[in-house]
Structure 1
Amino acid sequence: MKDAFGTPQSLLVLGGTSEIGLATARRLVARRARTVWLAGRPSPALEAAAGQLRRLGADVHTVAFDALDSASHEEVLGKVFAEGDIDMVLLAFGLLGDQANDEADPMAAVRVAQTNYTGAVSAGLVCANALQGQGHGSLVVLSSVAGERARRANFIYGSSKAGLDAFTQGLGDALVGTGVHVMIVRPGFVRTKMTEGLQEAPLATTPEAVATAIEAGLRRRAEVVWVPGTLRAVMSALRHVPRPLFRRLPI
Structure 2
Amino acid sequence: MKDAFGTPQSLLVLGGTSDIALATARRLIARRTRTVWLAGRPSPDLDEAAEHLRGLGADVRAVAFDALAPESHETVLGKVFAEGDIDMVLLAFGVLGDQANDERDPLAAVRVAQTNYAGAVSSGLVCAQALQAQGHGSLVVLSSVAGERARRSDFIYGSSKAGLDTFTQGLGDALHGTGVHVMVVRPGFVRSRMTAGLPEVPLATTPEAVAYAIELGLRRRSETVWVPGAMRLVMSALRHVPRPLFRRLPL
TM-score range, shorter chain: over 0.9
Distance 2:15 2:187 in 1: 17
2:224 corresponding residue in structure 1 = 224
1:154 corresponding residue in structure 2 = 154
Distance 1:106 1:127 in 2: 30
Q: After TM superposition, give the deviation of residue 119 of structure 1 in Å.
A: 0.1
Alignment RMSD:
0.3
Count of residues paired in the alignment: 251
Distance 1:123 1:82 in 2: 16
Superposed CA deviations along residues 159-207 of structure 1, whole A, max 9, x for unmatched, are 0000000000000000000000000000000000110010111100000
Give the aligned residue type for 1:164.
L
Give the aligned residue type for 1:160.
S
Q: After TM superposition, give the deviation of residue 68 of structure 1 in Å.
A: 0.3
Distance 2:159 2:200 in 1: 20
2:5 corresponding residue in structure 1 = 5
Give the aligned residue type for 1:168.
T
Q: After TM superposition, give the deviation of residue 216 of structure 1 in Å.
A: 0.1
1:123 corresponding residue in structure 2 = 123
Structure 1: give runs of 5+ residues left out of the alignment: none
1:31 corresponding residue in structure 2 = 31
TM-score, normalization by structure 2: 1.00
2:209 corresponding residue in structure 1 = 209
- Please list every run of at least 4 consecutive aligned residues from structure 1 whose deviation after the TM superposition is greater than 6 angstroms: none
Distance 2:233 2:82 in 1: 42
Give the aligned residue type for 1:156.
I
- Give the 3-state SS of the residue equivalent to 2:84 in structure 1: coil
- Give the 3-state SS of the residue equivalent to 2:28 in structure 1: helix
Superposed CA deviations along residues 38-68 of structure 1, whole A, max 9, x for unmatched, are 0000001000000000000000001000000
1:165 corresponding residue in structure 2 = 165
The residue correspondences of 1:193-204 to structure 2 (distance < 5 A) are: 193-204=193-204
Superposed CA deviations along residues 103-136 of structure 1, whole A, max 9, x for unmatched, are 0000000000000000000000000000000000
2:64 corresponding residue in structure 1 = 64
Q: After TM superposition, give the deviation of residue 249 of structure 1 in Å.
A: 0.7
- Give the 3-state SS of the residue equivalent to 1:226 in structure 2: strand
Q: After TM superposition, give the deviation of residue 154 of structure 1 in Å.
A: 0.2
Query: How much identity, in percent, do the aligned residues show?
Result: 84
Distance 2:143 2:178 in 1: 23
Give the aligned residue type for 1:78.
G
Superposed CA deviations along residues 47-95 of structure 1, whole A, max 9, x for unmatched, are 0000000000000001000000000000000000000000000000000
2:73 corresponding residue in structure 1 = 73
Give the aligned residue type for 1:250.
P
Structure 2: give runs of 5+ residues left out of the alignment: none
Distance 1:199 1:133 in 2: 44
Distance 1:123 1:200 in 2: 31
Q: After TM superposition, give the deviation of residue 250 of structure 1 in Å.
A: 1.2
